[in-house]
Amino acid sequence: MKRVAGMIAALIVYAGSAQAGTPPVFLEDFTWTELRDAIAAGETTVIVPVGGTEQNGPLIALGKHNVRVHFLAGKIAESLGKTIVAPVIAYVPEGSISPPTEHMKFPGTLSVPDQVFVQVVEAAARSLRQAGFTDIVLIGDHGGYQHDLATAAKNLNKEWAKSTAKAHFISQYYRAQQDAYAQALMAHGVAEKDIGTHAALADTSLMLAVDPSLVRSQALQASGALGARDGVYGGDPSKSSAELGQLGVDLVVRQSVEAIRLAIQRK
């Protein structure tokens, strides 16, 4: 029990970034009294962003998912209005630890069991409900745990059936990074074979638009020969650009905002 509790306590990563003179969006940038007053004033929607710590090829830092979901969640909250972003959950299921599977075959990837992850998400959501939030939005930047987020939302809504609180799993956040983004890239002249599924052109471009400091630019132009052995799945990272990545940023924010508004309206 103590071991599980320790794992759960370690799953939340600090990611505050409030700027002086602007209203806070990220929960950890509030004092408790400021948060109390914001909720009382109608800021009752909160986004729980889920990232992950995993290998992203030789060109993108291990924290890609955490930085990306923090940034995009902030943009989504700003577009929605009256919305706060909870701290990023950074430890997620990434495959078996021993023997290692999936991304665990690469140093730096951190994995937790699916059951522990679901429990963390549910506990975070319950904490937010206790604070006064009534719409708890779950979004995830990595494909491997999307079903776990759906399970957590289902469990919470069953538990909260007689209350005004609701958990919303927004699958569109992740799906926008896949199908819609790929279509947008091809519409801008990118060959389908260059897009890739992990740490390739789409992924790298999106990271360049969000935080270029996490992309190893000196090696980028010579990265066309990278493959699965390097942690790059399909595609050609050497053709990546921030301009192409901005297409993904805009799609994810717009489609997520639309999906969240619809989910809250249906509540």
How does residue 11 score in pLDDT terms, banded at 50, 70 and 90? Answer: low
How does residue 27 score in pLDDT terms, banded at 50, 70 and 90? Answer: very high
How does residue 7 score in pLDDT terms, banded at 50, 70 and 90? Answer: very low
Question: Does the pLDDT of residue 190 top 80, yes or no?
Answer: yes
Q: Is 135 helix (H, G, I), strand (E, B) or coil?
A: strand
CA distance 189 to 225: 21
| DSSP run (H or E) holding 114 | helix 114-131
pTM of the model: 0.91
- Asked whether the beta carbons of 135 and 219 are under 8 A apart, the reply is no
Mean pLDDT of the chain, nearest integer: 92
Q: How far is CA 244 from CA 93, 186, 225, in A?
A: 29, 10, 20
Rounded average pLDDT over 82-89:
98
The per-residue pLDDT for range 131-167, each reduced to its tens digit, is 999 999 999 999 999 999 999 999 999 999 999 999 9
Region of 179 (left: φ > 0; alpha: ψ -120 to 50; beta: rest) is alpha
Q: At what angle do helices 114-131 and 2-9 cross, to 10 degrees?
A: 60
48-53-57-61 Cα dihedral, nearest 10 degrees? 80
CB contact set of 111 (below 8 Å; sequence gap of 6+): 91, 92, 93, 94, 95, 96, 97, 103, 104
